[in-house]
Chain A
Amino acid sequence: MWFINDINLKKQADELGVKIWQTPGFLFLMIGLVAVVVMLATYLISRNYDRPEVLIASESVVAILILIIGTSIVRVVEGITNLNKIKSEFISVASHQLRTPLSAIRWETELLLSKQRKGLSKKQLENIENISVLSARMTRLVNDLLDVVRIDQKRLVLKKTSTDLTKIICEKVDELRPLFEERNIEVVVNCKKNVPKILSDPERIRMVMDNLISNSVKYTVNQGKIEIKLFRKDDLVLFSIKDNGVGIPEEQHKRVFEKFFRSDNVVKYQTEGTGLGLYITKSIIEQSGGKIWFQSVENLGTIFNFALPIRK
Chain B
Amino acid sequence: MEKKKILIIEDEATLQKALSEFLSEEGFEVVSAMDGEVGSEAAKREKPDLIILDIILPKKDGYQVMEELRKLEITKNIPIILLTNLESPEDIQKAFERGATTYLIKSDYKLEDITRKIKESLEEN
Residues of A within 8 A of B (CB): 92, 95-96, 99-100, 102-104, 106-108, 110-111, 114-115, 139, 142-143, 157, 159
Shortest distance from the beta carbon of B22 to any chain A beta carbon, whole Å: 6
Contact A104 B56 (CB under 8 A): no
Q: Describe A's contact surface by its main secondary structure.
A: helix
Q: CA separation between A127 and B85, bound complex, in Å?
A: 27
Contact A108 B107 (CB under 8 A): no
- Contact partners of B87 in chain A: CB under 8 A: 95
Shortest distance from the beta carbon of B104 to any chain A beta carbon, whole Å: 11
Q: CA separation between A114 and B88, bound complex, in Å?
A: 32
Contact A110 B56 (CB under 8 A): no
Contact A95 B85 (CB under 8 A): yes
Q: CA separation between A115 and B112, bound complex, in Å?
A: 11
Cross-interface CB contact of A96 among B86, B89, B110, cutoff 8 Å: B86
Contact B110 A110 (CB under 8 A): yes
Contact B85 A107 (CB under 8 A): no
Q: Which residue of A lies closest to B24 (CB)?
A: A115
Contact A99 B110 (CB under 8 A): no
Interface residues contributed by chain B, number (CB under 8 Å): 20
- Contact partners of A139 in chain B: CB under 8 A: 107-108
Contact A111 B22 (CB under 8 A): yes
Cross-interface CB contact of B112 among A99, A100, A104, A114, cutoff 8 Å: A114
Q: CA separation between A303 and B86, bound complex, in Å?
A: 37
Q: CA separation between A96 and B22, bound complex, in Å?
A: 23
> B68: CB under 8 A from chain A?
no
- Contact partners of A157 in chain B: CB under 8 A: 89
Query: Which residues of chain B in 4-30 are interfacial with respect to chain A, using CB atoms and an 8 Å cutoff?
Result: 12, 14-15, 18-19, 21-22, 25
Contact A104 B18 (CB under 8 A): yes
A-B contact pairs, 12 of them (CB 8 A): A95-B86, A95-B87, A100-B12, A100-B15, A103-B106, A104-B14, A106-B107, A110-B18, A114-B22, A139-B108, A157-B89, A159-B89
- Contact partners of B122 in chain A: CB under 8 A: none
Shortest distance from the beta carbon of B9 to any chain A beta carbon, whole Å: 15
- Contact partners of B12 in chain A: CB under 8 A: 100, 104
Q: Which residue of A lies closest to B21 (CB)?
A: A111
Cross-interface CB contact of A108 among B14, B56, B108, cutoff 8 Å: B14
Contact B111 A99 (CB under 8 A): no
Contact B111 A111 (CB under 8 A): yes
- Contact partners of B18 in chain A: CB under 8 A: 104, 107-108, 110-111
Q: CA separation between A111 and B56, bound complex, in Å?
A: 24
Query: Which residues of chain B in 61-85 are interfacial with respect to chain A, using CB atoms and an 8 Å cutoff?
Result: 85
Query: Which residues of chain B in 96-125 are interfacial with respect to chain A, using CB atoms and an 8 Å cutoff?
Result: 106-108, 110-112
Q: CA separation between A107 and B109, bound complex, in Å?
A: 9
- Contact partners of B56 in chain A: CB under 8 A: 96
Q: CA separation between A142 and B15, bound complex, in Å?
A: 19
Cross-interface CB contact of A143 among B25, B107, B110, cutoff 8 Å: B107
12 further contact pairs, Cβ within 8 A, besides A110-B110, A115-B22 = A92-B86, A96-B86, A102-B107, A106-B110, A107-B15, A107-B22, A107-B111, A111-B21, A115-B21, A115-B25, A157-B89, A159-B89
Contact B106 A99 (CB under 8 A): yes
Shortest distance from the beta carbon of A58 to any chain B beta carbon, whole Å: 53
- Contact partners of B22 in chain A: CB under 8 A: 107, 110-111, 114-115
- Contact partners of A114 in chain B: CB under 8 A: 22, 111-112
- Contact partners of B88 in chain A: CB under 8 A: 92
Q: Which residue of B lies closest to A104 (CB)?
A: B14
